[in-house]
């Protein structure tokens, strides 16, 4: 966002209120009201996509009024960094942006602090519900932040007008990332194709699996899901093509279950300590990992595996070279020699991305 406080006096618009001491919500209103696309020589009437980067500001009170050119926006991404001292500004500013974009179809909110698990700030559930209420054409909703939802499981919330409108909006979604784990929310998502649930556990995943039978892509990275939750997911949802279990609590039991499932196009198994480093289980997982590509590796285009202390075996490398010729992306956590990496890069001719790391992740 431009720094209005340092703009030279000669660039100030005549007859416009000064923005030097204006709250961030008012500045946001001005930005959305007068923004134009930058991909053309002439100034067009509207813009169709917008990315905002917000830092929270204490004392934000107002919400900018609608009626802006943002009504033509179809995709909105907001990157934000919140703080424990100010838990309201970023959600309110995001809500303000949405009210200016009433025909929005894709909304992505991303909390930068969540990358390293530093954020302890939760979005109030009513603000999330109001966002759904304001966007009747919404098809994709991605919220990478915590949600404060003590009453989400109560019948009273979903019986009220706000809960009913949110339930109706959920029914129109095709892709969802919302840390809201309850059966009532899951029951409103019969047409969901993409589920991203980094904050889900086994019971909440089971609720989504039982109701969202058309799932094609499931992203469970950094969740507390175990073998039991994955087993339920695979038993209910028979059309999953992309499954990311990076940094979960699975063991070789999940690998065995995957051998009976349809061949995936994407499979994420990286940074799984229980699978790759847990004593005897580590040896078993290496055998099962080598068998999995033999049976289900023909359609794999992206694969991640390993953990920081995992040593890639020669058997596994040979299996990948023999059966996963379609691989375009491969990510390896663990110990792998330069010779192994060079062999993989040379023999897998369709490979476009090869990542290798043995470092500890940010805590």
Strands 217-219 and 194-196 come out as parallel
Evaluate if residue 160 carries a pLDDT over 70. yes
| C-alpha distance from residue 95 to each of 19, 138, 242 (Å) | 21, 14, 31
3-state SS assignment for residue 34:
helix
Q: What is the pTM of this model?
A: 0.75
Residue-level pLDDT at 88: 65
CA dihedral 345, 350, 353, 356 (to 10 degrees): -40
* pLDDT level of residue 133 (50, 70, 90 thresholds): confident
**Cβ-contact 74, 105 below 8 angstroms:** yes
- Stronger pLDDT, 116 or 293, i.e. the higher one: 293
Find out whether 249 and 225 touch, Cβ atoms under 8 Å.
yes
Domain ranges of the chain: 23-148
**141 pLDDT exceeds 70?**
yes
Instruction: Tell me the mean pLDDT in the region 230-244.
Output: 95
Q: Quick check: 233 pLDDT over 60?
A: yes
For residue range 45-80, list pLDDT tens digits in order.
444 555 555 444 333 333 333 344 566 778 888 776
pLDDT tens across 25-50, in order? Answer: 555 555 555 444 444 444 444 445 55
Reduced to 3 states (helix: H, G, I; strand: E, B; else coil), residue 224 is coil
Q: How many angstroms separate the CA atoms of 143 and 133, rounded?
A: 16
Asked if the model's pLDDT at residue 136 lies above 60, the reply is yes
């Amino acid at each position: 966002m431009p720094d209005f406080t340092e703009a030279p006096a000669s660039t100030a618009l005549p007859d416009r209120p000064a923005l030097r001491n204006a709250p961030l919500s008012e500045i946001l209103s001005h930005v959305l009201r007068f923004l134009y696309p930058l991909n053309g020589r002439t100034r067009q009437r509207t813009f169709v996509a917008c990315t905002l980067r917000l830092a929270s500001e204490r004392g934000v009170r107002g919400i900018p009024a609608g009626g802006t050119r943002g009504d033509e926006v179809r995709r909105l991404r907001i990157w934000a960094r919140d703080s424990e001292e100010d838990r309201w500004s970023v959600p309110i500013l995001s809500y303000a942006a949405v009210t200016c974009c009433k025909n929005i179809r894709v909304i992505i909110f991303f909390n930068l602090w969540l990358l390293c698990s530093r954020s302890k700030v939760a979005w109030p559930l009513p603000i999330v519900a109001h966002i759904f209420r304001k966007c009747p054409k919404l098809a994709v909703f991605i919220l990478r932040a915590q949600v404060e939802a003590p009453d989400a499981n109560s019948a009273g919330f979903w019986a009220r007008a706000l809960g009913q409108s949110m339930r109706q909006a959920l029914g129109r979604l095709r892709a969802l990332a919302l840390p809201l784990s309850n059966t009532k929310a899951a029951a409103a998502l019969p047409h969901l194709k993409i589920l991203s649930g980094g904050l889900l556990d086994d019971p909440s995943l089971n609720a989504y699996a039982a109701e969202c039978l058309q799932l094609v892509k499931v992203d469970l990275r950094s969740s507390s899901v175990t073998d039991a939750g994955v087993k339920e997911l695979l038993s209910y949802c028979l059309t999953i093509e992309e499954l990311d279990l990076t940094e979960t609590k699975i063991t070789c039991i999940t690998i065995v279950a995957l051998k009976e499932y349809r061949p995936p196009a994407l499979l994420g198994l990286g940074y799984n300590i229980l699978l790759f480093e847990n004593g005897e289980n580590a040896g078993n997982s290496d055998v099962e990992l080598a068998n999995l590509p033999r049976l289900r590796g023909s359609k794999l285009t992206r694969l991640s595996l390993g953990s920081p202390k995992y040593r890639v075996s020669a058997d596994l490398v040979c299996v990948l070279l023999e059966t996963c010729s379609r691989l375009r992306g491969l990510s390896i956590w663990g110990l792998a020699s330069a010779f192994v990496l060079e062999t993989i890069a040379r023999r897998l001719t369709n490979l476009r991305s090869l990542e290798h790391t043995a470092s500890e992740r940010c805590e």
